């Protein structure tokens, strides 16, 4: 039976208040970042703060429009919305405007729209609808792989633009899968792959491969305590490796050590699979699969790093890891951002008094590096307030997600939390030099109409779902 409720009274006032505070503080910091005494009018549409003011008004109208739509629309049309946005991601590859080497934008006169920003809420809706239909049974391989495909398909299309920053953002949806029952081993494996990626860039592949082999044997021993079987496995591997080294001295002289070890691991695996499967020691088979995957991943990192990333993106990763130092080149943005934030001290230099901001030392200060304006002009206090608002909003949204009676609403809510979290973490991390600069905005703060509208739709769909959580009585 349907209950008659007033949606406007049921909207979460705390989340809306934080949203409003972020819009206001974001606009003031954009104004400070691009302030020009010759263009001081708020509604000067030739300036970024004038355009952002107009986009904020439009975002409020969009929020109202999202709220008045019945919740059944979002559920029943989730896949249509997802499909339409995927079509736009394909279309932008052919008809989009090329900006800084990425074909990510549609241009309509003076207005540019980035479909990847809207694809986030479309993916969240589709993922929620699919898992709701399948009763979020992620233990089934078919459900897990289909859910992963819903996430990775838009990520792949965005990678083709190429826009690696937005591609990384979509991986945050795996947090949703983890919350809904995905095996923790899959989640941990993903984290380990990221760590292994950076280790591969920092250390020699051969040494890393040897370490992985050693770790695999130790895991097998700690899991089973079967010393005899472990010694047999070690003997098999050493014998095959020695045979390959001997063979290389007569032929295949161009085979390097990394590939030789990879071949040794694969060949050993056939022997392990037969021997341990016949002994019904499946833990050895699982550990072997882990080993082969890890060694293959290590040997593929160089290819991916050199072929998939642009030169400036590679340099940013190398600078972050300390492999390369370039404070006046690729590392200039981060270096100046850190100086800017540090110069703010405890209470900041004062509004419109930031020297780093005023003299434009930090490029993209109104977009990806908006947080350094906060740090310089508002100091530690301002930075603490801004980060506190984001943390409080994320915790509030988690609370709202957990109180949902509808599985669809809860899953969508965690999709919102995941996207906002990854943007917040990476953007702040970029400005203080702990993550590579991949060019993603700070939600509700950074300059940009597409990102503001995309985040607004993402958030207010969830607030609308939350407001209707008691609409239907069972």
| CB 440 within 8 Å of CB 103 | no
For residues 132, 133, 137 and 143, what is the CA-based torsion angle, rounded to 10 degrees? -120
For residue 191, count other CB atoms closer than 10 A to its CB.
9
Length of the chain: 474
Backbone angles phi, psi at 120, to 5 degrees: -65, -50
Q: Give the separation between CA 166 and CA 163, rounded to whole angstroms.
A: 6
What does the pLDDT look like over 72-109, one tens digit per residue?
A: 999 999 999 999 999 999 999 998 888 777 788 898 87
Give the per-residue pLDDT at 13: 95
Given this model, what pLDDT does residue 322 score? 56
| Angle, helices 78-95/141-159, rounded to nearest 10 degrees | 30
Interatomic CA distance for residues 471 and 71, integer angstroms: 10
Q: Residue range 42-59: average pLDDT?
A: 88
Q: What is the pLDDT of residue 36?
A: 74
Task: Give the β-pairing of 97-99 and 111-113.
Answer: unpaired
The two structure tokens encoding residue 89:
């991601």
DSSP state of 441: P
Bond into 135 cis (ω within 30) = no
pLDDT at 409 over 90: yes
pLDDT band at residue 474 under the 50/70/90 scheme: very low
Burial 254-264 (b: 16+ CB within 10 A, else e): eeeebebbbeb
Position 408 pLDDT exceeds 80? yes
Alpha-carbon span 192 to 436, nearest angstrom: 18
How far apart, in whole angstroms, are the C-alpha atoms of residue 438 and residue 254? 37
Q: Residues 219-264: pLDDT tens digits?
A: 767 766 677 777 777 787 788 778 877 777 776 666 677 677 777 7
- At residue 272, the pLDDT reads 64
What does the alpha-carbon distance between residue 88 and residue 75 come to, in Å, rounded to a whole number?
21
Give the whole-angstrom CA distance, residue 327 versus residue 312. 13
Q: What is the pLDDT of residues 355-383, one digit of tens each?
A: 777 777 777 778 888 999 999 999 999 99
- Per the CB < 8 A criterion, the answer to whether 11 and 463 are in contact is yes
Q: Which residue has the tokens 């100046």?
A: 336
Residue 199 has pLDDT above 60, yes or no: yes
Q: From start to end of 116-223, where are the E strands?
A: none
| Site of tokens 């305590």 | 225
CA-to-CA dists, residue 344 to 48, 319, 356, 366, 460, angstroms:
24, 24, 10, 17, 34
Q: Give the pLDDT of residue 309.
A: 67
pLDDT recorded at residue 278:
55
Give buried/exposed letters for 397-412 (b at 16+ CB in 10 A, else e): bbebbeebebebbbbb
- Position 297 scores a pLDDT of 75
| Range from 21-35, 229-243, 315-329, 406-420 that averages highest in pLDDT | 406-420
Backbone angles phi, psi at 354, to 5 degrees: -75, 120
pLDDT in tens, 146-156: 999 999 999 99
Residue, of 176 and 244, whose pLDDT is higher: 176
> Are the C-beta atoms of 357 and 373 separated by less than 8 Å?
yes
Q: How confident is the model at residue 1 (pLDDT cuts 50, 70, 90)?
A: very low
Answer whether 316's CB lies under 8 Å from 330's CB: yes
Lowest model confidence (mean pLDDT) among 251-255, 298-302, 340-344, 366-370: 251-255
pLDDT score of 286: 66
SS3 assignment, position 106:
strand
- Residues ≥6 apart with Cβ < 8 Å to 306: 314
**Token couple for 462:** 């969830």
Angle at 327 between CA 436 and CA 446, to 5 degrees: 45
- Are the C-beta atoms of residues 136 and 180 closer than 8 Å to each other? yes
What's the whole-number mean pLDDT along residues 175-188? 82
Mean pLDDT for 343-359 is: 82
The first and second tokens of residue 188, run together, are 């941990």
């Amino acid at each position: 039976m349907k209950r008659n409720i007033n949606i406007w009274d049921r909207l979460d006032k705390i989340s809306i208040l934080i949203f409003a505070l972020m819009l206001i503080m974001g606009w003031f910091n954009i104004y400070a970042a691009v302030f020009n005494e010759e263009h001081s009018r708020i509604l000067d549409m030739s300036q970024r703060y004038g355009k952002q003011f107009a986009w904020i008004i439009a975002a409020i109208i969009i929020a109202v429009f999202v709220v008045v739509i019945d919740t059944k629309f979002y559920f029943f049309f989730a896949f249509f919305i997802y499909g339409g946005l995927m079509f736009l991601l394909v279309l932008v590859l052919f008809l989009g405007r090329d900006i800084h080497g990425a074909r990510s934008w549609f241009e309509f006169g003076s207005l540019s729209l980035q479909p990847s920003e809207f694809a986030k809420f479309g993916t969240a809706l589709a993922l929620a609808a699919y898992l709701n239909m399948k009763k979020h049974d992620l233990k089934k391989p078919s459900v897990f792989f289909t859910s992963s495909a819903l996430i990775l398909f838009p990520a792949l299309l965005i990678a083709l633009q190429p826009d690696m920053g937005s591609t990384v953002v979509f991986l945050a949806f795996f947090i949703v899968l983890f919350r809904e029952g995905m095996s923790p081993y899959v989640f941990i494996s993903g984290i380990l792959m990221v760590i292994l990626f950076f280790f591969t860039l920092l250390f020699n592949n051969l040494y890393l491969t040897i370490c992985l082999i050693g770790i695999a044997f130790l895991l097998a021993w700690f899991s089973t305590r079967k010393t005899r079987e472990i010694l047999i496995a070690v003997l098999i591997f050493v014998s095959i490796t020695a045979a390959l080294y001997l063979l290389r001295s007569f032929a295949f002289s161009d085979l390097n050590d990394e590939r030789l070890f990879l071949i040794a691991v694969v060949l050993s695996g056939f022997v392990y699979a037969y021997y341990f499967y016949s002994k019904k020691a499946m833990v050895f088979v699982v550990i072997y699969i882990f080993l082969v995957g890890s060694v293959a991943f290590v040997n593929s990192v160089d290819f991916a790093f050199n072929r998939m990333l642009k030169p400036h993106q590679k340099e940013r990763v190398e600078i972050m890891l300390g492999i390369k130092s370039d404070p006046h080149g690729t590392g200039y943005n981060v270096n100046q951002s850190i100086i800017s934030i540090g110069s703010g001290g405890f209470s900041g230099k004062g509004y419109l008094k930031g020297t780093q901001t005023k003299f434009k030392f930090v490029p993209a200060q109104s977009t990806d590096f908006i947080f350094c304006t906060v740090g310089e002009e508002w100091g530690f206090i301002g930075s603490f307030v801004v980060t506190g608002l984001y943390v409080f909003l994320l915790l509030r949204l988690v609370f709202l997600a957990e109180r949902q009676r509808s599985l669809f609403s809860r899953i969508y809510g965690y999709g919102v939390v995941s996207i906002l979290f990854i943007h917040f973490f990476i953007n702040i991390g970029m400005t203080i030099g702990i993550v590579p600069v991949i060019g993603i905005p700070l939600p509700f703060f950074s300059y940009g109409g597409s990102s503001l509208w995309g985040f607004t739709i993402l958030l207010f769909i969830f607030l609308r779902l939350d407001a209707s959580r008691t609409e239907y009585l069972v």
